[in-house]
Structure 1
């Protein structure tokens, strides 16, 4: 087994450990919810999942660094596991099933492995550098994920996470310009919209504010599915504070509208 394939196996093992905890705590009557300094919610499930993943990595990848949403860390020049124990915590604590665990391995600043596990949806997406992107439903064989062939904004589906975030971090008018240029708009939000771009269900997913742990895993999946991933200034990468993921064909046109003015 190649090192990259072995790393993907480790990421999938982390997903299994996470799913065991999140599914047990989802809709639990005794779920403990706190607020972090930025007022975003965190549950006891978030911290338990990250601690479990860190324990696995300490066993099988003791020399690798870790950056997690709940326990911190930094991105170095070497190998760093970037994890979001529950992406979509607000959905999780309200009992909505649209949440997932995000796991990425970043090497020399580039994500090379990405796994997204959404157990309440019964779906898992993954990708690794040069090996494509894949999606599987529970009990079914994996299938290759590929972006759409939509070539114009007038035929495109676009999604974001929260319209209010555009007011605070960018420009709601710019996003509305993009919506009006597209055929349909949705708000699937968080990890899900990026995975849907990889599957060819959506053509554009974008957020004006996002962290490295929100984006590292989905960048691998989108790009390995044939798409393009950048920040809102067009700079490639997952760690610039914003995100635009597309099928590649409509990327420049979407950027032009988001940067207008």
Structure 2
């Protein structure tokens, strides 16, 4: 399949997900359940993933599929990796910073990434070598405005960089928290501004770095030039994979905390390419 054909399918998957999600917003989200990791899941999460699985099975019957709610299907080197609703807590609270994350990987390399945030009326996408793009999302893609190319910041030093970190300290595993605290300590500014050592456990949960930004994921803050770096920990591959080509095609860098090109190790560092190695060094020191 060509990148154009796969990208067209990704846009159609995103359209379907948005239609379902906004229908649930209008009708009420329904019964909310708590998963084993303490995160909420709604009927919209489950319905979106089921219907996207069905669409991929019809259009790409040989492709494998991995989703947050129902796990993995198939063993083909081509694998769709989807988070039906990234930011379910925002979805439930009526905040607009939630969206559907869609990635296509081949031989563990992400070949396509697309994010659609229906409540923000915007989408972002990239394929390797094609640039990273965004467009206002009112109706079919590209009809309301011309897509705009994304670009990361040019900040060259970590002590002058704005760095987002998520989740807050009390939700970060003990063995990772010192690394997050070290990154926050050496960055010019850490967002949110917290005691990242976790000693202040009584601090109320702060808003995500993306709250009020017009994006639904911290990695998009890097790709759109609003943050110099973003550290995400305790994440699944569906939280990370779609952002990899978007950040890289915007001129940025991605790795796990060991510096590897892996989206399945539970943590991700997105940054402009100039501060990436320094940020990794801080994480390793921690």
TM-score (norm 1): 0.93
Which moves more between the two structures, 138-147 or 58-67?
138-147
Shift of 1:185: 2.4
Residue among 263, 267, 282 paired with 1:238:
263
Tell me whether 1:221 sits opposite 2:246 in the alignment. Answer: yes
Which moves more between the two structures, 196-205 or 72-81?
72-81
**Aligned equivalent of 1:137:** 136
**Aligned equivalent of 1:188:** 209
User: Measured at CA, do residues 217 and 167 of structure 1 come closer, stay the same or move farther in structure 2, by a change above 3 Å?
Assistant: closer
CA RMSD for the aligned pairs? 1.9
Tell me whether 1:69 sits opposite 2:68 in the alignment. Answer: yes
User: Measured at CA, do residues 182 and 27 of structure 1 come closer, stay the same or move farther in structure 2, by a change above 3 Å?
Assistant: farther
Cα separation, 2, equivalents of 1:172 and 1:55: 39
* 1:67-89 Cα shifts (integer Å, max 9, x gaps): 01111106846111111000111
Which structure 2 residues correspond to residues 1-261 of structure 1 after superposition, within 5 A?
Answer: 3-26=2-25, 28-29=27-28, 31-73=30-72, 76=75, 78-138=77-137, 139-164=144-169, 167-186=172-191, 187-188=208-209, 192-261=217-286
Structure 1 stretches (4+) deviating beyond 6 angstroms? none
Shift of 1:37: 2.2
Which moves more between the two structures, 66-75 or 163-172?
163-172
User: Which secondary structure state, in structure 2, belongs to the residue aligned with residue 92 of structure 1?
Assistant: helix
- On the 8 A contact 2:78/2:105 being kept in 1, the answer is yes
- On the 8 A contact 1:166/1:175 being kept in 2, the answer is no
- On the 8 A contact 1:169/1:209 being kept in 2, the answer is no
Shift of 1:225: 1.2
Higher helix share: 1
User: Which secondary structure state, in structure 1, belongs to the residue aligned with residue 217 of structure 2?
Assistant: helix
- The answer for unaligned runs of 5 or more in structure 1 is none
- The answer for unaligned runs of 5 or more in structure 2 is 138-143, 192-207
Shift of 1:173: 3.8
Count of residues paired in the alignment: 260
Which moves more between the two structures, 10-19 or 94-103?
94-103
* 1:9-41 Cα shifts (integer Å, max 9, x gaps): 000000000000111212643522112222221
TM-score (norm 2): 0.85
User: Measured at CA, do residues 199 and 170 of structure 1 come closer, stay the same or move farther in structure 2, by a change above 3 Å?
Assistant: farther
